[in-house]
Structure formats: C-alpha cells, structure tokens
A = this chain, B = another copy of it.
Amino acid sequence: MAQPAQVSHRLSLAIFSVTVVAVLGIALLASLLVRRNVEKQHAGVTRADIPESEYRNGFWGRYFPRQYDSYRKTGTVEFQSKYGGSADRDMLSEDPRLVVLWAGYGFSKDYRQGRGHAHAVDDVRKTLRTGAPTGDDDGPMPSACWTCKGPGVVGAMKREGIDGFYKGKWARFGKEIVEPVGCADCHDPSTMDLTITRPALVEGLAHLGRPLEKETHQSMRSLTCAQCHVEYYFDKKESGAQHVSFPWHRGTSCEQMEAYYDTIDFADWTHPISKARMLKAQHPDFELFLTGVHAERGLSCAECHMPYQTEGGQKFTSHHAQSPLNNVARTCQVCHREETADLVADVYQRQDRIAQSRIALEKALVRAHVEAGKAWQLGATDTQMAPILLGIRHAQWRWDFAAASHGASFHSPVEVSRIVALGLDAVQQARVELARVLAALGHTTEVEYPSIATKADAQRFIGLDLEKINAEKKLFLDQVVPKWLLWAREHQLIESEPVGASKL
C-alpha cells in the first residue's frame, strides 16, 4: 500500500496533468469557436444533368438555386446611383447634347442607362435603336445586335455557324433569343467551368497573343465579362455577315484601337452635320479596367461585381451582378477598412471631377459639329475640312470612350482623365482650324450654338420625327413581340415569362 504522502504526491501530479490538458483544451476550443470558417465548401460546383442544348436560365437554376436566386435580383431595380446603377434612366433627357453628337446614328433616338442582366432581352426589344421590324428580314439592325443579349445565341451559332449567325437582320432571331444574359453564356453545362462562348473574345485575345488555354480561373472571372463589356465593331464580310470583332489588333488602349480603326478606314457612321466619319465607342469596360489599380492588383470583375457570399453555411458567388456601391461590405471593405459612406463618397468625388471635363468636351464637340456644318454651307472644300473632320472624329472617340464605359471614372480615373483632356485638346484644335476656314469663307464671328435645352429640342434640331418612330415601335411591341414569345413558349425556349421582363 502506498503511504499517504505518496498518494498525495501521485494525486497532485495527476491533478496537475489534468489541469494543464484542460486549460490547453479550453483554449483550443475557444480558438476553434472564435475562428471563422472562411473557406467553406464552394456551393454547387458539381456535375448536373443539364443537356448541352438547354439555354433556359430557370432550368439551370433548379440545380444551382443560390446562384439562380441571386441572378434573378438583376431583374429588380434596387439602387439609383448618381452615375450608374441599374435604374432605367433616359440619358438623352439628362444630357440633350448627346442627341447632337450622335446625330444620324441610332443612339440619337434612344439611349438609356444599362440595367441588370435579366433585362437584356426586354431592353433590346424596347429600344428605339432596333426599330420596328415587321418580318424576319426587316428593320435597321443586323442579327449581330443579339450577340450579347442571351444564351440562345450560343445555340443559334452552333446551328448556323458563326458567320451564318451574323447574316441577316436582327428580327431573324427574335423568336429564338428569348432568355436574357444568363447561365449558358459563361458556364459549360457539363462541367460548370467558366467558359467563353462568344468567338469575338477568342479572336481578340489572339490579337493580344493571349491563347485562351493559358488563362487562369481568376482571369476567367474577368474574361467571361469581357465577352460583352468591351469595345467592338461589326466587320462586314463579303458574305454579308456583320461579324462582331474587337479592335485589339494593336492593343487595347484608346489610342491603339483608334489607330486600328484609322488604318482600316472604319467608320460607324458619317455625321450629317459635320460630315465627319465617326466612331461610336461601345463600352470599353474591360479595356479601361485593365489600366486601373484594381486590375494591377490582380482583381477580377467578379471580386467587386459578383462577390462571394455565404448562405446557410454555403459559400457561393453572387450572380446578382451590380454596382459594388450596393454591396460595399462584401466588396470594397474586404480590402479597405473605411466607412461605407467614405468609400462611396470617394467614388462620387472621382466621378464628379471627371464629369466637369467630360461636359466641357461635349460642349466643344457640339460646337465643332455645328461650326463644321456652317463651313460646308459657306462652300468649304474637302481639302480644307479633312484635318478638321479627323480632329472631330478623334475627339469624339475619346469622349465616347470615357462616357460609354460603365464605371470608367472609378475603374481608372487618371486614364479616363487623360483621355478626356486629350479629347478636349483635339476638338479645340479642330475648332481653331475651323475658325480660320470660316474666316477665309467670310465668317469671322461666333457660330450660333443650337438651343438644345431638352431632348425634344435636340431631336428636332437634328430632324428626328420621334412621333412616327414611337408609333412604329408600339406596333412592333404590340404585334410582333407577342408572336415571338408564343413561338418560344411552344418550343420550350422559355418556361414562363422571362425573368425580369416587364409587361410589354
């Protein structure tokens, strides 16, 4: 038998050991409880039984309910931001100068703030730019105008071939392209991998020496967006196809794309007042993003526009693509430890400052077009006008490049400022030369600035008959579109009303 002293000694050792283990154990447990399980299982990236030819977003959504539910929010208007967001703003009413700058081009009829992905099909039908086709071979726009509107394009291209798809009129695919931008535009139905479905991006990346197979998952989180959020033009083929192409042959900067357009002597249209051969910048969002600090730091579009979120312990990518200003906590604040109001104010401050120069550029451009028109009236020659019209073309390209790109003043404020400033230099230089030409033709005073206080004023000034255009559009929306939808439902291309579609 052990002596009491020995018992006491052994007991104390045992108690000591148990206590040490207990204290450490409690510490470990506390640590586990406190530590957030940040890298949870990524929800839903598994195989699913989606047929290759299934383009209905709702069908995909049965397998990926969280992604689909978040996507559906792009059909709502939740946020009216000062310069962007998803509201249906009439930009021509807000800034009637645009009507004059785009005179002779569809944008002078109708130009609205872009809305969420789920509105894509609805909005392209409604805009006055697509006109009022009465049949498949009617209307002002080519089939290429569907290219970015929804996943039905993927199927149509597979069936008809790329340039087969790009032939003919826009109305030709009205029955088939009924689901708005969605799942199959960016995902492979068998693996769910991010994938590029639009040939223009693959061709564009080839010009940059970036073969697609070398891209990473992170770069794909921008490239899927870059299928559409880029500058593009319609390359008219001998076959009649209008092939959507990116002018990246020399690079993606404002000047490099312009140099390419100048080399191939491309123009989107000729301005009816100045006779300048114009370029319409689309939305070079990806190109300008590349020049900004967030791209430099390795971010993708998705970090800010489709951030990760957690629901029911599942981490997934929000498919509610939207302005990060609606979601500062999951976007900016992941890196920037500043108050939401301060971060939002910073964005608006950049935009406000750049807006001042952009508006100065717009005003000078309106004057330049009108002064050039006056010079033609007074008998100016092509030789006199050639350098002036080139200046107007280059200046308006810079303005449009900065103005049309969504979020440009935030994505790359110093680059956008540079582009706008050099646009101001170019247009004013053209106006100096115009003043000399006008003087040589006997006009030495200021040319009258048009009275364009409202959109209606400006549209009258350029000779648009909006009453007629609106009446035709109404007929199209009342009579043609319902037939498209009926056909699509019969052929199971939409299950019900497309997500986000408002009453036509």
List residues of chain A with CB under 8 Å of any chain B CB: 4, 7-8, 11-12, 15-16, 19-20, 23-24, 293, 296-297, 338, 342, 346, 349-350, 353-354, 356-357, 360-361, 364, 413-415, 417-418, 420-422, 424-425, 428-429, 431-436, 438-440, 444-446
Contacts and interface: CB of A to CB of B under 8 A. Distances in A.
Nearest to A364: B425
Contact of A414 (B8, B297, B353): B353
B425 A360 contact: yes
Given A413-B413, A421-B357, A424-B424, A446 B436 contact: yes
Given A428-B431, A444-B436, A418 B19 contact: no
A420 B433 CA distance: 22
Contacts of A425: 357, 360-361, 364, 424, 428
A148 to B, nearest CB: 30
A421 B357 CA distance: 6
Q: Which 5 A-B pairs have the closest CB atoms?
A: A428-B428, A439-B439, A417-B417, A435-B435, A4-B4
Contacts of A446: 436
B422 A357 contact: yes
Contact of A440 (B23, B353, B420, B439): B439
A297 B337 CA distance: 11
A503 B11 CA distance: 83
A436 B432 CA distance: 9
B417 A346 contact: no
Nearest to A413: B414
Contacts of A424: 421, 424-425, 428
B432 A439 contact: no
Given A296-B346, A425-B364, A435-B439, A357 B8 contact: no
Contacts of A297: 338
A436 B24 CA distance: 87
A344 B187 CA distance: 39
A24 B23 CA distance: 9
A295 to B, nearest CB: 12
Contacts of A354: 414, 417-418
Contacts of A431: 428, 432
Contacts of A353: 414-415, 417-418
Contacts of A415: 353
29 contacts: A4-B7, A8-B11, A11-B11, A11-B12, A15-B19, A16-B19, A19-B23, A23-B23, A23-B24, A293-B346, A349-B414, A353-B417, A354-B417, A357-B422, A360-B425, A413-B413, A413-B417, A417-B417, A421-B424, A424-B425, A424-B428, A428-B428, A428-B429, A431-B432, A436-B444, A436-B446, A438-B439, A439-B440, A440-B444
Nearest to A355: B418
Contact of A439 (B24, B350, B436): B436
A447 to B, nearest CB: 10
B432 A428 contact: yes
Contacts of A428: 364, 424-425, 428-429, 431-432
